[in-house]
Structure 1
Amino acid sequence: MSNSKLYKGSLSTIILKLLADEGKMYGYEITQKVKQLTQDELQIKEGALYPALHKLEADGLLDIEVKKVDNRLRKYYKLTEKGTQESIGKLAELERYLSTMQALLLPKTKLSS
């Protein structure tokens, strides 16, 4: 699957969904989880992930928690209350979109009476 065009518009939804499911995650962990869940079909690059995370944070959807792990500082991202609500809305929007696309791509055949 082409990584760039199909998932770019859904990247924030993917991030919000993962954080809603997992609670908090750091950047590399997000990329690995996406690879695992999609069996390597989607691979989110750092150049796309971090700008998306920064935008979600600037929009008040994410909080950052910094922890020291193995003598390194690691940023963990988690949803704010606003982020939780946005996640719910984005997932509902994506479900409607997928349903619409299925109706276009797999129309039900009408039986003649």
Structure 2
Amino acid sequence: MYICPMYSKELLKGTLKTIVLKLLSANGEMYGYEITQKVKVLTNEKIQLTEGALYPTLHKLEADGLVTTQVENINGRKRKYYQVTAAGNTEATERSNEFTEFVQTMLILLNPQLTK
């Protein structure tokens, strides 16, 4: 599912769609391996996505109309590029805002002295 030496699987379980949508929203079209590498680089290898976690998520996002795909032939091999739709951009923003608010709320719960 995830290879994550720094964080528990439980912390990451609900964030994969948000991660993928935000990356696609920020970077335009990307293919699966490119997404896994971008996450790895951006998190300084703290989060490493496996194909077994990523591709079912991409397929679900496509089924929900949040991403579209385009297949290109690269050096005789087919490569599927994923692009976020307008609805996907909206969802990415909403999920990102919700997650940010959640993190802020958790910080208050974990460190109540910081709010005084």
Q: TM-score per shorter chain, which class? A: over 0.9
* Residue identity opposite 1:19 in structure 2: L
Structure 1 residue 107: Cα displacement: 1.7
Q: Please, what is the CA RMSD of the aligned residues?
A: 1.4
**Residues matched between the structures, number:** 111
- TM superposition shift of 1:73: 0.5
Q: Tell me the TM-score normalised to structure 2 length.
A: 0.90
Match of 1:70 among 70, 75, 96: 75
Runs of 4+, deviation exceeding 3 Å = none
Gaps of 5+ in 1: none
In the alignment, structure 2 segments of 5+ residues that lack a partner are 1-5
State the TM-score, normalized to the length of structure 1: 0.92
Q: Structure 2 counterpart of 1:34, which letter?
A: V
Aligned residue among 28, 34, 40 for 1:23: 28
2:3 is aligned to: none
Given that 2:108 and 2:114 are in contact with CA atoms closer than 8 Å, whether structure 1 keeps it comes out as no
What's 1:61 paired with?
A: 66
SS at match of 1:36: helix
Q: Alpha-carbon deviations, 1:52-101, whole Å to 9, x = none?
A: 00000000000001111111010000011111111111111111101101
Equivalent positions of 1:42-57 (< 5 A) are: 42-57=47-62
Q: Could you say if the C-alpha distance between residues 23 and 104 of structure 1 is closer, same or farther in structure 2, counting changes exceeding 3 Å?
A: same
What letter matches 1:77 in structure 2?
A: Y
Q: 1:39 to 1:80 in 2, by over 3 A?
A: same
One-letter amino acid of the structure 2 residue matched with residue 83 of structure 1 = G
Percent identity over the alignment? Answer: 50
Report the alpha carbon displacement of residue 110 of structure 1 after superposing the two structures with TM.
7.4
Aligned equivalent of 2:85: 80
